């Protein structure tokens, strides 16, 4: 369904910035007359942190973004006993009581991964919430408000190398009761399918009365998606896969996104669906033996060559038309 932008990636890793090694995990939010694109970056210090780019709606083209001068806006904790002292990734945003609530995955050196929360009045200056973390033992949040409740989605490893999506709700966006969480979406288990083994990094949007979710499908490993799938729901708890899945595949051999992809974030503007995504690959082409070896490593191994020959960057794809009916 979606067609790659010809000049991908649109946000590339940049020397001298907090995203000199990786720039990934896009999430878009409309707030205070701006479109905000949150993302994670990693520099040579090897700590992932969160930044934001923005554009005024009248200047939007999906490609050109202004990077906030105060990036990164949420940093790893300097205290090595904190849950987010090593990496801070996977932003997911929503507006609650006029403030931006940003949920993120926090990683430490010796604790389970957790989901944390930071809050901002303006979308740029964030304060980590005092109740952190809000969810223990989960990653890759997505957040939707429905019927006055904050629905927080996240992935848990239900068994070795298998992630499923879970959801729990809150009245204030801060306090979540995980004893009431529900598993809402699972791997297909269909032999030979792109999402047979595991599903990861869901992104949700609402159109009329239907919610749609994009997700990464894994056919070999827990979290190295080769393609993106689509599903729909009326209530956020029961999801139906699109029978024409997958809707988007990783790049061709030798391209920048030849290895895997995550976080397909969709925004509709004037009849066109814009989808930003994280892709990784060596991107060296296929003209040399070195390039061929790097490509093979990226495509055929779990996180093959990641951070050595393969680097995450942010790409764009578009689709003009209506969402398919099924």
Could you give the number of structural domains in the chain?
Answer: 1
Tokens of 145: 């408000």
Query: What CATH number does residue 228 fall under?
Result: 2.115.10.20
**Helix or strand run (H / E) with residue 277:** strand 272-281
In a domain, 311, yes or no: yes
Q: What percent of the chain is helix, strand and coil (3-state, nearest 5)?
A: 5, 50, 45
pLDDT higher than 90, residue 190: yes
Tokens of 202: 């869901």
**250-300, pLDDT tens digit by residue?**
999 999 999 999 999 999 999 999 999 999 999 999 999 999 999 999 999
**What is the Cα 105 distance to its own chain's centre?**
11
Range of the domain at 252: 3-320
**66-97, pLDDT tens digit by residue?**
999 999 999 999 999 999 999 999 999 999 99
In a domain, 269, yes or no: yes
Cα gap 153→106, rounded to integer Å: 15
**35-51, pLDDT tens digit by residue?**
999 999 999 999 999 99
Name the one residue in this structure whose structure tokens are 């964030």: 126
**210-260, pLDDT tens digit by residue?**
999 999 999 999 999 999 999 999 999 999 999 999 999 999 999 999 999
Angle (CA) 13 16 20, round 5°? 25
* Environment class of 70 (CB within 10 Å of its CB; exposed 0-12, middle 13-18, buried 19+): exposed
In a domain, 325, yes or no: no
């Amino acid at each position: 369904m979606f067609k790659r932008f010809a000049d991908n990636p649109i946000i590339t890793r940049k020397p001298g910035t907090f995203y000199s090694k990786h720039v990934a995990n896009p999430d878009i939010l409309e707030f205070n007359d701006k479109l905000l694109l949150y993302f994670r970056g990693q520099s040579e210090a090897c700590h992932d942190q969160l930044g934001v780019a923005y554009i005024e709606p009248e200047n939007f083209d999906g490609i050109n973004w202004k990077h906030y001068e105060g990036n990164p806006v949420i940093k790893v904790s300097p205290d090595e006993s904190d849950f987010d002292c090593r990496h801070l990734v996977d932003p997911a945003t929503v507006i609650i009581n006029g403030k931006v609530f940003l949920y993120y995955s926090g990683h430490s050196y010796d604790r389970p991964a957790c989901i944390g929360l930071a809050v901002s009045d303006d979308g740029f200056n964030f304060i980590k919430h005092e109740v952190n973390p809000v969810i223990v033992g989960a990653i890759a949040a997505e957040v939707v408000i429905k019927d006055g409740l904050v629905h927080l989605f996240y992935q848990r490893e239900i068994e070795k190398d298998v992630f499923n999506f879970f959801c729990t709700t809150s009245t204030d966006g801060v306090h979540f009761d995980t004893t009431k969480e529900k598993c809402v979406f699972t791997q297909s288990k269909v032999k030979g399918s792109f999402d047979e083994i595991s599903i990861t990094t869901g992104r949700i949007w609402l159109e009329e009365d239907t919610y749609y979710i994009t997700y990464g499908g894994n056919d070999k490993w827990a979290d190295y998606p080769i393609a993106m799938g689509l599903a729909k729901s009326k209530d956020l708890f029961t999801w139906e896969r699109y029978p024409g899945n997958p809707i988007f595949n990783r790049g061709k051999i030798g391209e920048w996104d030849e290895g895997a992809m995550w976080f397909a974030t969709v925004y509709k503007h004037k009849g066109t669906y814009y989808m930003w995504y994280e892709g990784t690959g060596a991107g060296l082409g296929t003209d040399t033996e070195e390039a061929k070896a790097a490509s093979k490593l990226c495509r055929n191994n779990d996180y093959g060559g990641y951070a050595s020959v393969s680097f995450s960057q942010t790409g764009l794809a578009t689709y003009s038309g209506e969402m398919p009916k099924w």
